Amino acid sequence: MKKDEFYSFLRKIPKAEIHLHAEATLSRKTVQALLDRTPDSPAKPASVEKLFSYNNLKDFITSFLYVQGMITKLSDLEAMFDDVATYLKANNIVYCELFFSPSMFMKKGFAFPDMIDVIQKAIAKVEKRDKLTIKLIIDVSRTFGVENAQSNLESTLKHKAPMVIGIGLGGDEEKGPAKLFGDVYAEAIKRGLHVVAHAGEVVGPESIWDALNTLKVERIGHGLSAIQDPKLVQHLVEKQIPVEICLTSNVITQKYVTKAEDHPVRAYFDQGVLVVINTDDPTFFDCSIIDEFWILHTKLKFTMPEIKQLIINGFKASFLTPAQKDAYIAQVETAWGK
């Protein structure tokens, strides 16, 4: 299929994206405007291009935190959801589980309840206007230590909003091993939250085992290093633990793969892992979910029926109820059949 046909066909198919960071879905235009109003300092990048140039996770995280740091008003947070909605609509993503990382904002003086209040209203507005559904996963973060993660969880529980469905663990995997966060995760599970974690993005399979065994996560974010441990791949297959693949993100951060063709997503899929396709940080990695499917189709030889299965997997691996999943999957089937 030609590229433009592929894109226009995929735009017609309703999709889910379940590993997407809100702050990294700000448009470049918005980031440029934030940069323009940010006072000069030695840390200030000379341009948006400079801000978005990195080739490892650490430097990416520095840029991610810098962008968060430029968000200084509650109205910026509110406006962020218009950019999220623009991205979702452009890709016909009708259901999204979106990460929001409060740590940096709280360090800058935002109060958690104020942020949740604004976000809740912003999400309600875009859901109604754009006929899509956004659920939030609070990234308690491994970058700032266990106490900070515990405090993020406490805030999440204290100011529980209906669209908040779980917690995640993003940030620097090398600096914050999953096993340190066992108590935080045990408490989250006890209080009825879903739990996911980035694991195996820049650390070996032991990090994924820790996320599974110590944190008891329901899904793995990235899971790139699982390929090094066949027993782990077998475990993921047997338990049907979803792996949130973020291919372009992994190629740009260059830890285990430097080109799409080398990504283990093909091997995972062929072995029966429940893989789901995501962009992670679309603006930071200059990609969209349809771009990701195009790469899979052209560079990793995913056939159109396989692409359809991957799209269905997005809903299957979500935290929707079985009836909701069935309803969305039926919509995919109908749109695909036309």
Query: In the complex, which residues of this chain contact ligand HPA (CB under 6 A)?
Result: 21, 24, 61, 64, 170-171, 198, 201, 249, 280-281
Among 17, 83, 280, 291, binds Zn ion (CB under 5 A): 280
Least distance to ligand HPA, CB of residue 57, Å: 6
SS3 at position 298: helix
The helices-and-strands tally (H runs, E runs) of the chain is: 16, 8
Least distance to ligand HPA, CB of residue 86, Å: 19
| Residue 83's binding partner out of Zn ion, ligand HPA, none, with CB under 5 to 8 Å set by partner kind | none
8 Å CB contact between 216 and 189:
yes
How many of the other CB atoms lie within 10 Å of CB of 240?
11
Least distance to Zn ion, CB of residue 230, Å: 25
Least distance to Zn ion, CB of residue 19, Å: 6
Residue with smaller CB distance to ligand HPA, 281 or 292: 281
Q: How far apart are CA 204 and CA 239, in angstroms?
A: 20
| Residue 171's binding partner out of Zn ion, ligand HPA, none, with CB under 5 to 8 Å set by partner kind | ligand HPA
Least distance to ligand HPA, CB of residue 246, Å: 6
8 Å CB contact between 318 and 18:
yes
How many of the other CB atoms lie within 10 Å of CB of 147?
9
- Nearest residue (beta carbon) to ligand HPA: 170
Residues with Cβ within 8 Å of residue 289, at least 6 apart in sequence: 15, 17, 91, 93, 277, 278, 279, 282
| Residue 17's binding partner out of Zn ion, ligand HPA, none, with CB under 5 to 8 Å set by partner kind | none
How many of the other CB atoms lie within 10 Å of CB of 50?
12
Residue with smaller CB distance to ligand HPA, 81 or 336: 81
Residue with smaller CB distance to Zn ion, 210 or 280: 280
